[in-house]
């Protein structure tokens, strides 16, 4: 839990205060408020991914906890639903903790920010599902590094966590528009800044799509891995 909280906090405060003074109101708000919203989303991404991959893999492969549970009247589908929900709720806690710190620093403008809670949960479900897909395919823990390096880190840069996506060339912006973190940021940032997000229905639908599709893929791969 400490890792899930301390890490995003350090980024938020470090960049926010360190860089913030050099970028006065460049983003329609203070830079630290801008980055606080990004950090809420990235902490959810990180925490859900870690839980679904490292902890999930431990329970599935190393400790054989899933095997034990499947000997009870519980199916693999139930276990996967539970893992996704667990990873999403753990990431929701991370997101809420960052949000509370941001609120304590006066970076949350109104009660509209309460609406970030369902957004955070949906974001957590999307990243938990994606993490479980990787877990289902992983031969060992080392495999997760590929996903972090090739998927998570680029999203961190491309999806508007540290700076607006319109800084990128058009082609990259189009790619970014297909990534789940972009939609989470597009919802959370205005909500924390007392604004109803533009096209919020579309962003929610994209997150929901990621959550549903990734879960179905994870289910198919895990069934193939464990029930054959």
Partner 1 sequence: MTYLSVHGVRKSYGEHEVVAGIDLELKPGECFGLLGPNGAGKTTTLRLCLGLTEPDAGTIRMFDLPVPVEARQARARAGVVPQIDNLDPDFTVAENLLVYGRYFGLADALLYARIPSLLEFAGLANRGDDNIKALSGGMKRRLTLARALINDPDLIFLDEPTTGLDPQARHLIWERLRNLLSQGKTIFLTTHFMDEAERLCHRLAIMDHGRVIVSGSPRELVRAHIEPQVVEIFGDGAEAWATAQGSRLSERCERTGETVFCYAHNVDALLHDLEQRPELHYLHRSANLEDVFLRLTGRDLRD
Residue 148 CA to residue 168 CA, distance in Å, equals: 21
Nearer to partner 1, 71 or 140 (CB): 71
Q: How far is the CB of 2 from partner 1 (least distance, A)?
A: 17
Q: Where are the alpha helices (DSSP H) in 153-199?
A: 153-158, 170-176, 180-192
Q: How far is the CB of 224 from partner 1 (least distance, A)?
A: 11
- Contact with partner 1 (CB under 8 A): which of 6, 10, 74, 212? 74
Q: How far is the CB of 75 from partner 1 (least distance, A)?
A: 6
- Contact with partner 1 (CB under 8 A): which of 2, 72, 150, 171? 72
Q: How far is the CB of 131 from partner 1 (least distance, A)?
A: 19
Token couple for 11: 């980024």
Residue 31 CA to residue 215 CA, distance in Å, equals: 35
Is residue 69 at the binding interface for partner 1, with CB under 8 A as the rule?
yes
- Contact with partner 1 (CB under 8 A): which of 10, 68, 157, 198? 68
Element housing 163 (H / E): none
Is residue 85 at the binding interface for partner 1, with CB under 8 A as the rule?
no
Binding range to partner 1, per CB under 8 A, among 22-30, 72-80, 93-101, 184-192: 72-80
- Contact with partner 1 (CB under 8 A): which of 5, 23, 70, 93? 70
Token couple for 147: 């996903």
Residues 6+ apart with CB under 8 A from 117: 92, 96
Is residue 224 at the binding interface for partner 1, with CB under 8 A as the rule?
no
Element housing 23 (H / E): none
Is residue 228 at the binding interface for partner 1, with CB under 8 A as the rule?
yes
With beta carbons less than 8 A apart as the criterion, state whether 142 and 61 touch. no
Binding range to partner 1, per CB under 8 A, among 68-76, 143-151, 179-187, 192-200: 68-76
Is residue 67 at the binding interface for partner 1, with CB under 8 A as the rule?
yes
- The residue length of the chain stands at 228
With beta carbons less than 8 A apart as the criterion, state whether 4 and 47 touch. yes
Q: What is residue 73's DSSP assignment? A: S
Q: Where are the beta strands (DSSP E) in the chain?
A: none
Site for partner 1 in 47-66 (CB under 8 A): 63-65
The site for partner 1 (CB under 8 A) is made up of 63-65, 67-75, 227-228
């Amino acid at each position: 839990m400490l890792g899930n909280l301390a890490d995003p906090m350090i980024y938020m405060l470090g960049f926010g205060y360190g860089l913030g003074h050099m970028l006065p109101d460049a983003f329609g708000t203070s830079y630290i408020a801008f980055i606080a919203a990004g950090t809420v989303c990235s902490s959810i991404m990180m925490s859900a991914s870690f839980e679904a991959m490292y902890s999930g893999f431990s329970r599935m492969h190393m400790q054989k906890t899933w095997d034990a549970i499947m000997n009870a009247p519980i199916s693999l589908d139930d276990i996967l639903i539970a893992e996704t929900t667990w990873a999403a709720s753990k990431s929701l806690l991370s997101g809420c903790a960052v949000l509370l710190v941001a609120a304590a620093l006066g970076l949350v403008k109104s009660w509209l920010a309460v609406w970030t809670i369902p957004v955070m949960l949906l974001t957590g479900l999307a990243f938990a599902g994606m993490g479980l897909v990787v877990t289902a395919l992983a031969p060992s823990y080392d495999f997760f590094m590929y996903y972090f390096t090739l998927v998570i880190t680029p999203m961190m840069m491309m999806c508007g966590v540290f700076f607006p996506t319109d800084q990128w060339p058009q082609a990259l912006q189009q790619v970014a528009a297909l990534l789940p973190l972009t939609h989470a940021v597009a919802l959370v940032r205005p909500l924390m800044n007392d604004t109803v997000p533009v096209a919020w229905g579309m962003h929610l639908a994209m997150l929901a799509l990621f959550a549903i599709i990734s879960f179905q893929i994870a289910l198919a791969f895990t069934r193939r891995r464990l029930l054959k």
